[in-house]
């Protein structure tokens, strides 16, 4: 094999980096003569400067006849998604179901695919979090309004009741001590709430948020 010079750091006499057309030609020649496998002996082939591993990878991922190049079709994508859900990161197994595709190609595709998915879900998550925050803020605002209105309402109604029936506002000691036990107070509170909702209900449409 033509010495792979001029790129990377030579390791054990092998050089790293992209393959040249001459190297490809020599590797194809070797495989056509000796067949696939025995990759360690490829590296000992006259002129070889690549490790057996590297030769195997180059053959399997790039030079092997019948390889499909180019975009993964939607059908293939569907198969990949299904098989990945079934098998996990068994790229070589998945590749067997996709003639002409290599494990490396599928792995790379999945990586970019899942990255995209992750990004879009992150965006979606951010949006959801934003909506949730807005909702919380809205609820908090609503609560503050309610409290403010409650006080106002209680004062107003209490003032009215005091004029209507002063004895209701200054009950006996017993009544002062046990207001929540009193049926009158309970029904009065109910009526306050009812009044309140009649007044303010529908004022803020919760579904009308941004």
Partner DNA sequence: AACGGCTTCAACCGCTGCAGT
Partner DNA sequence: GACTGCAGCGGTTGAAGCCGT
Which residues of this protein are in contact with DNA, per CB under 7 A? Answer: 8, 11, 16-19, 36-41, 50, 52-54, 56-58, 61-62, 69, 89-93, 103-105, 107-109, 111-112, 115-116, 119
Helix (H, G, I), strand (E, B) or coil at 202: coil
In the complex with DNA, the residue whose CB is nearer, 123 or 152, is 123
- What phi, psi does 199 have (nearest 5°)? -75, -50
Q: How far apart are the C-alpha atoms of 210 and 189, rounded to whole Å?
A: 34
Copy the structure tokens of residue 201: 């209900």
The rounded distance, in Å, linking the Cα atoms of 52 and 43 is 5
Q: CB of residue 58 vs DNA: minimum separation in angstroms?
A: 5
Nearer to DNA, 107 or 161 (CB): 107
Minimum distance, C-beta of residue 41 to DNA, in the bound complex (Å): 7
What's the min distance (Å) between Cβ of 69 and DNA? 7
Least distance between DNA and beta carbon 33 (Å):
15
- Residue closer to DNA (CB basis): 85 or 206: 85
**Which residues 6+ apart lie within 8 Å of 54 measured at CB?**
14
Structure tokens at 46: 């006259």
Minimal CA–CA distance to 135: which of 73, 209, 49? 209
Structure tokens at 161: 């009741």
Task: State the minimum distance, in angstroms, from the CB of residue 133 to DNA.
Answer: 24
Q: Whose Cβ is closer to DNA: residue 17's or residue 203's?
A: 17
The nearer residue to DNA, 89 or 144, going by C-beta atoms, is: 89
């Amino acid at each position: 094999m033509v010495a792979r010079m001029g790129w990377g750091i030579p390791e054990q006499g092998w050089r790293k980096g992209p393959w040249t057309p001459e190297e490809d030609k020599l590797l194809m020649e070797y495989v056509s003569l000796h067949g696939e496998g025995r990759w360690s002996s490829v590296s000992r082939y006259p002129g070889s400067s690549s490790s057996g591993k590297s030769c195997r990878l180059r053959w399997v991922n790039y030079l092997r006849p019948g390889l499909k190049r180019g975009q993964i079709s939607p059908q293939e994508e569907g198969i990949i998604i299904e098989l990945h859900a079934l098998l996990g990161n068994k790229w070589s197994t998945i590749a067997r179901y996709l003639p002409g595709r290599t494990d490396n190609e599928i792995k790379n595709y999945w990586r970019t695919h899942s990255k995209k998915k992750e990004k879009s879900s992150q965006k979606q998550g951010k949006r959801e979090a934003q909506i949730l925050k807005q909702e919380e803020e809205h609820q908090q605002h609503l609560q503050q309004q309610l409290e403010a209105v409650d006080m106002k309402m209680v004062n107003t109604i209490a003032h009215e009741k005091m004029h209507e029936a002063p004895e209701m506002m200054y009950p006996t000691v017993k009544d002062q001590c046990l207001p929540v036990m009193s049926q009158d107070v309970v029904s009065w509170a109910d009526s306050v709430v009812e009044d309140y909702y009649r007044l303010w209900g529908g004022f803020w449409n919760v579904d009308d948020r941004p």
